Structure 1
Amino acid sequence: MYAIVEIAGHQFKVEKDQKVFVNRLATEEGKKVSFDNVLLIGDGDNVTLGAPAIDGAQVSAKVLKHLKGDKVIVFKKKRRKGYRVKNGHRQALSEIVIEGITASGAKKAAPKKETKKAEPKAEAKPAAKKAAPAKKATAKADDLKKIEGIGPKIASTLVEAGIATFADLAKAKPEAISEIIAGVRGNHVTDTWPKQAKLAAEGKWDELKKWQDELDGGKA
């Protein structure tokens, strides 16, 4: 059995016991993590498609270790301008091992019911129902840009790593946050971000605003 699943903003084809390198996850080493945005499951000749995700399907994995990828050199040059800039980048990654693929509640793909004309219409209704949970998921995400020092690029990077709410950010350690946003250009001070997020999660906006007026780019 294999599955195509979205992990940290990228799609992977995975099988049981397979090791995969993904963008840095907020989960600690040795702990288990699950991904429910499963797009396809294949088991021999049987293939199940999602619309876009398969309802009830899940891929479970275990975080083996956190590491950095190979260095990538980015060199920019402008002819006759004397402009040369050389930067290096190492992507923050997590190595995980796939422990299981669960397909409970999954609905069969449309090609299995080609002989029945009424079936495609019946499948259109579950697809519409599946779209509703996706809206709920985005509604639960918080605007991380309200934290002093976090811009649009950093906010999207944190969401891809699994930190989508103020509560998630409040639980993260500054060192782990720095590793996640290592690829974002600039000098970012993450020391106060979890404390700011905790105030935001508790709805203490007046206290947070007063403190942010004293901060400079997230630095006390």
Structure 2
Amino acid sequence: MYAIVEIAGQQFKVEKDQKVFVHRLQTEEGKKVAFDNVLLVADGDNVTVGAPAIGGAQVSAKVLKHLKGDKVIVFKKKRRKGYRVKNGHRQSLTEIQIEGIVASGAKPAKAEKTAPKKETKKAEPKAAAPKAEAKPAKKEEATQDLSKMTVAELKEMAKAKGVSGISSMKKADLIAALS
């Protein structure tokens, strides 16, 4: 039985009792961790693929130790310019041992932490007469708002309305075209 699980931003194919080096985890040595983002679980011929993750699937592991990876030399050079830079890098890693793969039945930890969302009430529609009066005021406000907008925002609005030749227009021309 194996699973493909996302750990610290990377995907790993893991099996039970396998040791894996992953990016540094914020867990102390000797502690157990569980990964809920399981993308695929295969048990013989039975393969379960998530969309994108399998609900209820979980991979449990134990943190063995924190360490640094091998040194990688980063050398940059531009020929005939006298530019040379040499840097070294050692990645911080965590060694974990996979203790078990649960295909289903695990409770997702994220579901417990989320609180129920409050519903917002929608505003009731107003009578038809006030809407008719409000339209001329909105046009005046719209022209004032256009003068406060940046040229980039005006160009986006003009592009959405299908105005041609906006790349060479100035702010005043864009406001006139949109009004």
Q: TM-score, normalised by structure 2?
A: 0.59
Superposed counterparts of 1:204-219, under 5 Å: none
Matched letter for residue 87 of structure 2:
N
Q: TM-score, normalised by structure 1?
A: 0.48
Superposed counterparts of 1:87-166, under 5 Å: 87-105=87-105
Relative to its length, the structure with more strand (as a share) is 2
Structure 1 residue 104, shift from structure 2 partner = 1.2
Cα distance in 1, alignment partners of residues 96 and 58 from structure 2: 15
Cα distance in 2, alignment partners of residues 104 and 38 from structure 1: 10
Matched letter for residue 85 of structure 2:
V
Cα distance in 1, alignment partners of residues 37 and 19 from structure 2: 18
Superposed counterparts of 1:1-220, under 5 Å: 1-105=1-105
Match of 1:120 in 2: none
- Show structure 1 runs of 4+ deviating over 6 A: none
Cα distance in 1, alignment partners of residues 5 and 105 from structure 2: 16
Cα deviations across residues 166-216 of structure 1 (Å, max 9, x unaligned)? xxxxxxxxxxxxxxxxxxxxxxxxxxxxxxxxxxxxxxxxxxxxxxxxxxx
Structure 1 residue 63, shift from structure 2 partner = 0.2
Cα distance in 2, alignment partners of residues 29 and 85 from structure 1: 36
Cα distance in 2, alignment partners of residues 12 and 55 from structure 1: 18
The Cα RMSD (Å) is 1.4
Cα distance in 2, alignment partners of residues 26 and 37 from structure 1: 17
Structure 2 residues without counterparts, runs of 5 or longer? 115-179
Structure 1 residue 99, shift from structure 2 partner = 0.3
Aligned length in residues: 108
- Secondary structure in 2 aligned to 1:27? coil
Structure 1 residues without counterparts, runs of 5 or longer? 107-132, 137-220
- Secondary structure in 2 aligned to 1:63? strand
Structure 1 residue 79, shift from structure 2 partner = 0.9
Matched letter for residue 30 of structure 1:
G
Relative to its length, the structure with more helix (as a share) is 1
Cα deviations across residues 124-175 of structure 1 (Å, max 9, x unaligned)? xxxxxxxxx7xx7xxxxxxxxxxxxxxxxxxxxxxxxxxxxxxxxxxxxxxx
Q: Which of the pair has more CA radius of gyration?
A: 2
Cα deviations across residues 72-100 of structure 1 (Å, max 9, x unaligned)? 00000011110000000000000000000
Cα distance in 2, alignment partners of residues 31 and 51 from structure 1: 30
Matched letter for residue 81 of structure 2:
K
